[in-house]
Structure formats: structure tokens, C-alpha cells
Structure 1
Amino acid sequence: MKPHLWLAGFVAFASVGTAQAANVGFETASAPVPGDKPLALTIWYPTDAPERPMPLSLYSQLVAPGAAPSGHGHPLVVISHGTGGSNADHFDTARALAAAGFVVAAPTHTGDTLGDRSRSLRLTERPAQLSRVIDYMTRDWRGHDAVDAGKVGAFGFSSGGFTVLGAIGGEHDMSQVARHCAEHPHFYDCNLGRQPGVGPSPATPETVAHDPRIKAAVVAAPALGFAFAPSGLSKVSVPVQLWRAEWDTVLPQPYYAEAVHALLPKAEYHVVPAAEHFDFMAPCTPALAKVAPQICVDNIDRAAFHRTFNAAVVRFFEKTLRS
């Protein structure tokens, strides 16, 4: 697919999806992690129960809180948020997937939240956390009987994109970070370690936990894309949908999404015209704009874009996990 040709056909698809949409159940949970803090989870899933508005962090969503899951054999999609984010950051995408018949689980990554940045530089820990979420959702979650453990997908944004690429077989070379930052000291990732509360990088290189249960991945504005060159993505064999914001000033090209695309030329690739980095997060509310105005500056109509974006993500997982 050519980068800018991503709108055609989505309106028809979205209307079909809406006609078949289920109600969406919602709950929070905690996934134990041996030797570490438990992972806080938000979970969306198909249900027959009626929906009502409820708050979620600084957002509001229409869901059926605590309702029983309906049906069986639903594919599972796990979501990995960006640096300093939370499990609410992509709630609208998660809800769109659940309405289309997927179970969705989003963890808040330990030590990489707005209130705790102590492990923001320890990105290589994150893929193992995604694996723990998959374990929990397919074995321990109260609705695990509704999940098809053989149909698992992953969605990741920014640092979450790096997380997902590692989980599906990517092998990074973190020694490239020093060279990259010597050449681009003003870039966001090169200044992250100097932000208040951000802990140090790991003293020794860390391996990444790959998870062969993940059969398809959506990666939006991935961090540290350059660290996978020249052959770090050669073992990735699952379908990938890759997204780039055309005017990404947080992770400017060609070092991030473009670098990943060069290594995964067969990925379904979308460049969003005039979009900025944070446009892949849920549309901002006034309350969020007061707390984090930097992520709410839009060059595009983010709400309109997300109707198209969410439909594309649903379409991709329908094709790769239901066939």
C-alpha cells in the first residue's frame, strides 16, 4: 500500500462493522508478576449487557462495567502504551476492537507512567510484561473461556511499538543508541534520561522476551526503530501493520518508523498526512489538555482520524486473526 493511500474503502468497512457491533464490557484487573509488582490491567470485551457512560482516567467511555463476557473463541489483542503513559491511552481503539468481537487487555507498564518514570529507559523489560498479560488473559482471567489462546495480536505505540516489535521476534542493538544520540542530542529519546524521575539505563545489555503466541501486530510511531538495523527484524514472520505520523517531531524520520519500514518492507504501511506523534493516542478531553497540553496539540482532526484509524486496526486484526 502506498503511504498516503489509506482512506479508500474504510467508510464502507466502518459502516459494516458498526452494524455488527456488540456491546462492550469493561473491567480492571491485576496480573501478578513473579518477583515484581503486579501489572494493572484494563480489559474490554464483547457483552450482551447494556452500556453506560463511565470515567476512565481523564477520559469518558461508553461500556458495561463488570458485565459478563458473551460468546466464545474471541481473539485477544494486548496493547502496549508509550513512555510515561497508561493503560487508558488507547481506550477508543480498544473499545472499537471489543465491539468487533475481540477481547482487549492493556497493562500499565511498571515504572513507565506519568507518576513513576523510574524504569522508562528499561524498555527491554516490557515484552516480558506483555507475555505475562497474555498468560493472565488466557489462563487466569475470569473470562478466559471466551478467549481463543491461539489467536493473539498486539498493538503498540511509541515505546509500546518497540515493545511489540521485540515481542514478535525483533532483536535490538542498544549500542546504537550512543551513536544516535551523539548525532542527534536534541531528540526526545536522547533527552529522556535527563528528565526528572527517570531512572538509569540497564548496566548491561538485556535480552528481549519473544512470544510466538502473537500472530499479528500493529505498530504505531515505534521508538528506537534505528536500533533494529541492519538485521534485527529478520526473524519477524507475522503480519505487521505499521503507522507513521508525517510530521512527527517527537520521533522524527527517518530514524524510527521509516527505519522499521526499511527492515519490514512487506508491512502494511500507512503515513498519516500532517499528523503528529501523539495523534495515535485517544482524542484529548479538556481535562487531559490541562494536565498534559503537549500531547493535545493537533494539526489534524484527531477524532475524525481515529474513526478511520480504529477501523483500519480492526480490519487488520480481522484479516490476520480470524482467517
Structure 2
Amino acid sequence: MKAATARGANNAQREIAVVRLFAVVAVVCGLLATPAFAANVGFEEVKIANGAEPPLTVGIWYPTDAAAVEQTVGTHTETVARDAPVAGRRLPLIVISHGGGGWYDSHYDTAIALARAGFVAAAVSHAGDTFDDQSRVMQLWRRPVQLHRLVDYMLDEWADHEHLDKARVGAFGFSNGGFTVLVMLGGVPNLSEIAPYCHAHPDHDLCSALQHAGVNPDLAETVPASVWLRDPRIKAAVIAAPAFGFAFGRAGLSGVRAPIQLWRAADDRHQPDPYYEEAVRVDLPHPPDYHVVPNAGHYDFLPPCDARLARKMPALCNSLPGFDRAAFHEQFNEDVVDFFRAELH
């Protein structure tokens, strides 16, 4: 009886040891698949070659163990360590495409949240569609080419590219940037859809903006499908308020296979429902991780403004009564990080 009891105890101890071993293995595997955390966020601005055109301006946020200080980056105050060493290996990369009239710092809070979670976030200022140069705002085919150039640079030319995992690349895009990322994932828009849309909805912001700029939407019919550049290196994407969503259709989105987190502001008066996000959602081959933000407007996907910027650009900074943009961005950035963690494993 005592021998049987001893054997039972030994078996139980062996089973406990095996369970503990599996637990340790699971933890180690989890750590290997999850971006590493660093103490702070590093930042650098670089210029990258862009063929025969002037260099593109890029902002890069990344994990670092260097001390970070509060400082001005463009029009925002950020707590970063400028030009500090990168911490970590096999870091996933997220490239960011801003909306029309923005620049690389337009989504700095999301970039910082990604860097704190162990990602490298790189954003390009889209030449010809920035706050200080809108000379080529309707030449939408230029944007995917520029974002593709950013991926090339980060993976092969960036001074710290050896810290990156080339197999784990994602993209974030807002408004015109959301359109850009859809194209990078394999979407092929038909810009000839813009003219009938504007004939039917001349009061919509897109159409009134085209009229104000003196752009004839009928000219979009001359754009060949071959100009749209796909980048198979992008494995997952977060897309907020994609512009020109109606221009894709089911056929135009049939080649999009990567997982997508799609966001819509419920009170987006700039891009009225159902012609933008909803049009994309219903025509994607696979259902996206879809979020509708109650009481939010189009520009609530931009970071909260300080008092000076709010006075200078109230149209971008003012939210509807009762909407807390700062609280929303805390949750939004957390959801973006969680999505990329899950999909870029």
C-alpha cells in the first residue's frame, strides 16, 4: 500500500513537472512572437531618395532604452529620445500614410503607442498632398508608390534596418492614407466612379473640394488600372475612414487578402455613410475587424489638439459636444496595437 502511494506521488510530481515545462515553453514562445518592450521611444527624421523627384521626408518612432525628453516635433510636443539607439531585434514594422493635407506627424500618438509596444513606426509625408503642398492631391496613384518606397528604405537602407523583421510588415492609413493602404494590399480603384458620384452628390465635401480646386472629375477616366502599385510585403493593415471607398467595388477589392481592421466615425460629415467605409466593408473578400465610433467625426482620428493648434485649425480640432477625443485615442491606439500584435506574430 505504501509502495503504491509512493508511486502515485512520484507520478503526480512527474505530471506537475511536465505541465510546468510546457508552461515555460509556452511563455518563451509567446515572448518570441511578441514585440519586446523598451523603456522609451526614440525618434528620427530622415530624407529618403525618391527617384528623379525631391527626397521624401519621413518620421520614424522606435523602441529605445535612452532617456526621452519632452520636445517639439513639428507642431506637436512629444516625449521622445531623438536619434537614440534602437532597442530590440526582429522588430515588426508599421508604415503610416496620412490623410489629405497632412504630413508624417499626423498620427504621432499612434506611432508612439506602437513604438512603446515594441514596433517600429515609419510615416512618410506624401509629396504633393501635404499641408504645405497640395499641387498633386488628385494624383492618387503617386501615394502607393511613395509608401512602397518607404518600405524599401526601411527594410534595406535605414541605418538600423537589421533590427527589423522583414516578414512582419503592416500598414496604417487614414482618409487618403486609407485609400493608399487599400491599394497597397491589392485594391484597384476605378476613378471614373468619382464623376457620377459627384454628379449625384455635388454637395458632398469631396465634390465641393474638387470644384473649388478646379479639378474636373471626368478626367479621372484616363487613369489606367496599371498605375496602382500593390506591395505583398504588407501582411496586415489598420484603415480609418478610407477616402474614395465607393471607387473600388467588389471586383476592385477582390485581390485584397490581408487581414484588415476598419474604422468608421459614426458622424463623419466629410465622408458620408454608406459611400466610404461601408462600401469597403461590404465589398472586401473577407470581413474586416470593423469598428464604428459613436458621435465621432472624420478628424477625430487625428490626435487631440493643444490650445494653439485648436485656435489655428478649428475644423481639424473641434469634436462634437460630449465626444472625448483624448479618451477615444487611448482606446483606439490600444486596439491598433492589439490588432497588429495578433496579426504580425
Q: TM-score scaled by structure 1?
A: 0.91
The 5 Å alignment of 1:1-323 reads 20=37, 22-195=39-212, 204-206=222-224, 207-264=227-284, 266-299=287-320, 300-322=323-345
User: In structure 2, what residue type is equivalent to 1:205?
Assistant: V
Report if the CA contact (8 A) 1:46-1:69 is conserved: yes
In structure 2, relative to structure 1, the CA distance for the partners of 1:198 and 1:173 (3 Å cut) is: closer
**1:250-298 deviation line (CA, Å, top 9, x unaligned):** 0010000010011125100000000000000111111211221101111
| Partner Cα separation in structure 2 for residue 296 and residue 203 of structure 1 | 35
- Matched residues in 1 for 2:104 and 2:128: separation? 13
State the distance in 2 between where 1:163 and 1:179 align. 22
The verdict on how the C-alpha distance between 1:182 and 1:202 changes in structure 2, with shifts beyond 3 A counting, is closer
With a CA cutoff of 8 Å and minimum separation of 6, indicate the structure with the bigger relative contact order: 1
Identity %: 49
Cα gap change, 1:304 to 1:32, in 2 (>3 Å)? same
Alignment partners' CA distance in 2, 1:21 and 1:288? 31
Bigger shift: residues 257-266 or 46-55: 257-266
Residues 180 and 266 (structure 1 numbering): CA distance in 2 closer, same or farther, change over 3 Å? Answer: same
Q: Matches of 2:151 and 2:191 in 1, distance apart?
A: 26
Q: CA deviation at 1:192?
A: 2.3
Cα deviation code 1:119-160 (max 9, x no counterpart): 111112111111100011111111111111111100000000
Aligned residues: 305
> What is the aligned partner in structure 2 of residue 14 from structure 1?
none
Distance 1:41 1:47 in 2: 18
- 2:299 is paired with a residue of what secondary structure? helix
**In 2: Cα distance, 1:48 partner to 1:258 partner:** 42
Distance change >3 Å, CA 231–CA 40, structure 1 → 2: same
SS of alignment partner, residue 38 of structure 1: strand
> In structure 2, the residue corresponding to 1:223 is in which secondary structure?
coil
In 2, the alpha carbon distance for the partners of 1:47 and 1:197 equals 47
User: What amino acid maps onto 1:258 in structure 2?
Assistant: E
CA–CA separation in structure 2 for the residues paired with 1:127 and 1:29: 19
Opposite residue 266 of structure 1, the aligned amino acid is: P
Residue identity opposite 2:160 in structure 1: G
CA-CA distance at 1:191 after TM superposition? 2.2
**Structure 1: 5+ residue stretches without partners:** 1-16
Structure-1 separation of matches of 2:220 and 2:275: 22
> For the Cα contact (< 8 Å) 1:82–1:160, is it kept in 2?
yes
Contact map agreement 1:41 1:105 (CA 8 A) in 2? yes
Instruction: Give the Cα separation in 2 of the matches to 1:99 and 1:306.
Output: 15
Extract unaligned runs of 5+ from structure 2: 1-33
* Equivalent position amino acid for 2:253 in 1: L
Range that drifts further, 129-138 or 53-62 = 53-62
Specify the SS of the correspondent of 1:175: helix
Change (3 A) 1:198 1:31: farther
Q: Distance in 2 between matches of 1:315 and 1:162?
A: 22
d(CA) in 1 for partners of 2:299, 2:111: 17
Which has the higher Rg, Structure 1 or Structure 2? 2
Residue 196 of structure 1 and its aligned partner are, at CA, apart by 5.4
1:55 deviation in Å?
0.7
How well do the aligned residues superpose, as a CA RMSD in angstroms?
A: 1.8
